[in-house]
Amino acid sequence: MQDYKKLFDLSGKTAVVIGAASGIGKASAEAIGSLGAQVICADADLAGAEATAQEISALGLASATAMKIDAADGKDIEVLAQHALQLLGKIDIAVSTPALNIRKLIIDYTEEEYDRVMNLNMKGAFNFFRSFGRPMMKQGFGSIIACSSMRAVTIEPGLGVYAASKAGIAQLVKAFAAEMGPYGVRVNAITPSIIETKLTAPLKERADIFKTYAGHTVLNRWGQPSEVGSAAAFLASDAASYISGSSLLVDGGWTAIDGPPTGLTSTRPSE
């Protein structure tokens, strides 16, 4: 019988997580590290990345280090990939989560704001795929994980540019999975909905919005970074060995329904 527990074990694996200082990136690094992988925690916030690395190392399962990078800078991402190869000898897992959202109507967007969002979200993913795809192609294995969003498939006013960038990531994932599959490399995306992170902190501060967004999910609550990090660790593991080109929804059922689940209710059946 297949040893299913071993499929989730990342012992002996190596990983790079971009965005590891906070939120979903931090949770992804922690989840992957807690399953046994060596992790390089990369972020523009070096102190935050170092703190994450220390927490992972303290588990005693694998070592973790930190590196400062700008996820919107293609040269920085390439330097990170080469550093990982030199330090780790191989790259089994690469995860990138950083994103920027400027909440404005499209007619009110400036070109500079558009470029800021697209350079980090969309172009950042493009550079991430190239820099980590090349060494994985040569070694003949690996799992690449990007971060999309349920906004790739459902929208609200003021999120058009952000949503376009996340939809673009989902399409890049499909294309890159097709290109990398013959080389034994899997490419996927995690696709969260409303998660309690720095990016969503301004929304959480408004009780009415916090409650409304929670009500859009079938679970009637916001998600935690750890719930998305767990999904990233799954996609990184051999338990997901036949999954590629996928955008794994971690959205509490938001995209499964048309609006808040406030329709007919039923009485629990009696015993």
Token pair of 43 as six digits: 């972020």
Establish whether 162 is a catalytic residue. Answer: yes
Phi and psi based region of residue 23 (left: phi greater than 0; alpha: psi -120 to 50; beta: remaining): left
Alpha-carbon distance 32 to 9, whole Å?
9
Q: Which residues, 6 or more positions from 137, have their beta carbon under 8 angstroms from its beta carbon?
A: 180, 183, 185
Q: Comparing C-alpha atoms, which of 166, 213, 219 is closest to residue 194?
A: 213
The catalytically annotated residue of 114, 162, 183, 213 is 162
Sheet containing 14-18: which strands, arranged edge to edge?
A: 64-68, 38-43, 14-18, 93-96, 142-147, 185-192, 247-250
Alpha-carbon distance 40 to 93, whole Å?
10
Active site residues: 162
